[in-house]
Amino acid sequence: MQAYRALSTLFGRLRALGDAAGILGWDAQTIMPTGSAEGRAEQLAVLRGLRHDLLVAPATADLLAEAEAERGTLRPWECANLREMRRAHATALPGDLVVAESKATSRAEMAWRTARASSDFTILEPHLADVLRLQREVAAAKGAALGLAPYDAMLDQFDPGLRLARIEPLFAELRREIPALIAAARERQAGDEVLPMAGPFATAAQKSLGETMMRTLGFDFERGRLDTSLHPFCGGATGDVRITTRYHEGDFTRSLMGVLHETGHALYEQGRPAQWVAQPVGEARGMVMHESQSLLIEMQACRTREFLSFLTPHLVETFGRDDPAFAPDNLHRLYTRVEPGLIRVDADEVTYPAHILLRFDLERAMIDGDLAVADLPGAFDAGMRELLGVAVPDDARGCLQDIHWPSGAWGYFPTYTLGAVAAAQLFAAATTAEPSILPGLAEGDFTALVGWLRREVHAKGSLLSTDELLTEATGRPLRLDAYLAHLHRRYGGTVH
């Protein structure tokens, strides 16, 4: 097993370099001075270049070939780790493309911040065009290595094995189901009175509330932290999980759900198998499963009546007043209100898939050359009108609201909705297997739920494919039925 052990040491070094880049990336999105952007782009490019050079070195290819000859002596986890090592090596990009992509996305991210603040897409346009050009090269290179079409290659880098042919029938069914479900939910809720939140809610108090809820869920503050950023995210490094949210002093409800969402991601990262945490097989099993964990916590668990009844006294204590708007029934009406809106991250779970369908359509069109970057704002507005009946008033609330495309995350958006589908499937299985989960949420006790997720998802890393993992946990691969049943049960309508 000498070759396999040498590869394990090498991939541990690769993980360390990736972690260093992760912390620098977190810093760039939270506290880095804006004037440091060019230097940070160079630093990240160097780190990613060093990582690439180690991965594609001739010695690495030799070790992989030698390790294949040792397969008979490897245990199942080691065989899976070797499989993930081979995949990483096979899909490695040319070194100059790695550096060019890193610099382009770093510059585009900083341009995006300026453009969004100014609500002016023209500031981002040339940078985004450069990122798109390079993403096409990335997709072509990865596609050639894997025998995939460009968009499939983009999907695969975020969820190994995910293909357009798998997504299209699921999304086609959602296109048919969602409009009627939105209409039914809005009709059902038409007479509901929702008391508004009467701010101000001090940012410091909101952060304290968020940290309390993170501890309630089981977040380990010895291995992570909460900060503020323009776009909420979970990042950092192995053993140092950084999550962020953004605050609005007039309304705490969005920032709180942002914290709960990102805590779901963080619990996955903090729960990965300790023995394999520095190896490819110890990584999370793609972004469908990662998004399933955040959406299971935020949407499935933390919008239940049980959890919201637990939340109410914490709101009274945190904000120092017994506001009728804090009552569990009002919180439930507020957090399950269905109303088409402009902002994806603030969308309710019924209209949310429409936001993803739009981005899915637009990024495919740009990759295929059917939509010019300059025409993106108009296409975004047209799609919002068609799918949600909402007109986009400005770029900031339109195509500039997400950082994904400037950061190079093309092929990522579908994993949000697929993650929501997986979350419903997992939560249904968990609450069936562990009847104490829902009563526990009413007491702020997430032990049963998180314990089930630790066993069935987190501790398995990348040992299994997404469908294999779901089948072991729920008895079947990814399907829409549990998700649609959940939406109809919570919001009304007929299950088809």
364 lies in the same domain as 423? yes
Give the residue from 148, 175, 196 where a domain finishes. Answer: 148
pTM for the complete prediction? Answer: 0.94
Instruction: Output the pLDDT for position 494.
Output: 46
How is 373-415 classified by DSSP, letter by letter?
Answer: GGGHHHHHHHHHHHHH-----SSTTTTTS-STTTTT-TT-THH
Residue among 223, 474, 143, 436 at smallest CA distance from 483: 474
**355 near 342, Cβ under 8 Å?**
no
Is 202 part of a structural domain of the chain?
yes
User: Do 231 and 287 have their domain in common?
Assistant: yes
Final residue of a structural domain among 148, 175, 198: 148
CB 89 within 8 A of CB 285: no
Looking up tokens 């949600």 gives 388
Whether residues 119 and 207 fall in one domain: no
Examine the domain organization and report whether 97 and 188 are in the same domain.
no
Decide if 41 is inside a domain: yes
Task: Indicate which CATH number applies to the domain containing 178.
Answer: 1.10.1370.30
Rg (CA), the chain: 22
- Same domain membership, residue 131 and residue 198: no
Residue 261 lies in a domain: yes
Same domain flag for 274 and 393: yes
| Residue 134 belongs to some domain of the structure | yes
d(CA 123, CA 138): 24
Active site positions, annotated: 262
Residue type, position 223, single letter: R
One domain, residues 139 and 187: no
Residue where one domain finishes, among candidates 80, 113, 148? 148
* Residues 309, 280 share a domain: yes
Q: Helices then strands (H, E): number in the chain?
A: 20, 3
Domain assignment present for residue 266? The answer is: yes
**Who's near 452: CB < 8 A, 6+ residues apart?**
430, 433, 434, 437
User: Amino acid identity of 334?
Assistant: L
Characterize the bridge pairing of strands 234-237 and 224-228: unpaired
Task: Give the pLDDT score at 496.
Answer: 36
The pLDDT of residue 199 is 86
Q: What is the pLDDT along the chain (496 residues), one digit of tens a residue?
A: 899 999 999 999 999 999 999 999 999 999 999 899 999 999 999 999 999 999 999 999 999 999 999 999 999 999 999 999 999 999 998 989 999 999 999 999 999 999 999 999 999 999 999 999 999 999 999 999 999 999 999 999 999 999 999 999 999 999 999 999 999 999 999 989 999 998 899 999 999 999 999 999 999 999 999 999 988 999 999 999 999 999 999 999 999 999 999 999 999 999 999 999 999 999 999 999 999 999 999 999 999 999 999 999 999 999 999 999 999 999 999 999 999 999 998 899 999 999 999 999 999 999 999 999 999 999 999 999 999 999 999 999 999 999 999 999 999 999 999 999 999 999 999 999 999 999 999 999 999 999 999 999 999 999 999 999 999 999 999 999 999 999 999 998 544 3
Domain presence at residue 157 = no
Domain match, 294 and 354 both = yes
Longest dimension (CA), the chain: 70
Give residue 88's domain range: 2-148
Query: Does the CA dihedral 144-148-154-159 come out positive or negative?
Result: negative
Split into its structural domains, the chain has a count of 2
Residues 201 and 115 in one domain: no
pLDDT of residue 493: 52
pLDDT score recorded for residue 1: 81
**Domain check: are 129 and 182 in the same one?**
no
In a domain, 153, yes or no: no
**pLDDT score recorded for residue 387:** 96
**Helix, strand or coil for residue 233?**
coil
Same domain, 137 and 227: no
Residue 160 lies inside a defined structural domain of this protein: no
